[in-house]
Structure 1
Amino acid sequence: MATIVNTPTVKEELQNLLKESRQANEAAVNYLRHNGVELNFDEWLTPKKYAEKFNVSLQVVQNWINRGIVPAENIRVVEELNDLKLIKAVPYK
């Protein structure tokens, strides 16, 4: 007789991963707040997410940052998150 192993379905696994992701995000935000850093993650994006949102290549975004097209006040480096670089989610050109 075969033993039936009770394994989670793909849907359940995805739900668990999403839950863990939300918890990790919440923990990161709480950590930053505790250390005096306030960021609205709707307004600040990683360069990769910025490129996706505004339909440009990541290389273009990096070039804009390096050439100063993205103003310094619109760039944040979050040391507490392993030097995560964020840029303000507004159009540049």
Structure 2
Amino acid sequence: MREPIKKGLDNYLSEMRKASKQDIPKVRKRFADWYRTLPIEDQAQMRPFWQDVKESAKAAIEEINASLAELKSLKEAKLVVGNSEYSLDEWITISDYSRRHNLKASRVQNWITRGVIPPDKVVVVPQLNSLKLVKDEVYKLA
């Protein structure tokens, strides 16, 4: 690739990396204007560069999509107790509930005992040493 073309591409990439969101269209326009001034032979020399850019972008998009799918599957984790399923982003341990809502764990346990947190909002998992899960909602004293 000729040196002026390589320099033009390097300048474009450098400007795009530094550009703010508002400046990106201006950088693209300057590059497009410069590109249109090149002879067809020089434009043809740039095709492998654009192919590499496209392949890199496709690979990055595939990696992002795979990461999003993995995050979604983690978010959708469920616990099955008896015949019921509980989403683990809605049902949390007493200690997690107390941290999230800035309460002492003993207060949350007291609320469970006194019925402030209704029985249908508490799940006991016997297979996990009687671990208690609480539906992640705000509960108030009546």
- TM > 0.5: yes
> Deviation string for 1:7-56 (max 9, x for gaps)?
xxxxxxxxxxxxxxxxxxx7x94xx37x6441101100111100000111
What fraction of aligned residue pairs are identical, expressed as a percent? 39
Unmatched tracts of structure 2, length 5 or more: 1-76
Alignment counterpart, residue 104 of structure 2, candidates 57, 78, 87: 57
> Comparing both structures, which one devotes a greater share of its residues to helix?
2
- 1:81 deviates by 2.1
- 2:93 corresponds in structure 1 to 46
Unmatched tracts of structure 1, length 5 or more: 1-25
| Pairing of 1:9-48 with structure 2 (within 5 A) | 29=79, 32=80, 36-48=83-95
Amino acid at match of 2:139: Y
CA-atom RMSD, angstroms? Answer: 2.1
After TM superposition, where is structure 1 displaced by more than 4 Å over at least 4 residues in a row?
Answer: none
> Deviation string for 1:32-89 (max 9, x for gaps)?
37x6441101100111100000111111101111111000000101122221110100
Equivalent residue pairs, number: 64
Give the secondary-structure state (helix, strand or coil) at the position aligned to 2:139: coil
User: Of the two structures, which has the highest relative contact order with CA contacts closer than 8 Å and spacing of 6 or more?
Assistant: 1
TM-score, normalised by the number of residues in structure 2: 0.40
TM-score, normalised by the number of residues in structure 1: 0.60
Give the secondary-structure state (helix, strand or coil) at the position aligned to 2:87: coil
Distance 2:102 2:90 in 1: 17
Distance 1:70 1:91 in 2: 9
Larger gyration radius, structure 1 or structure 2: 2
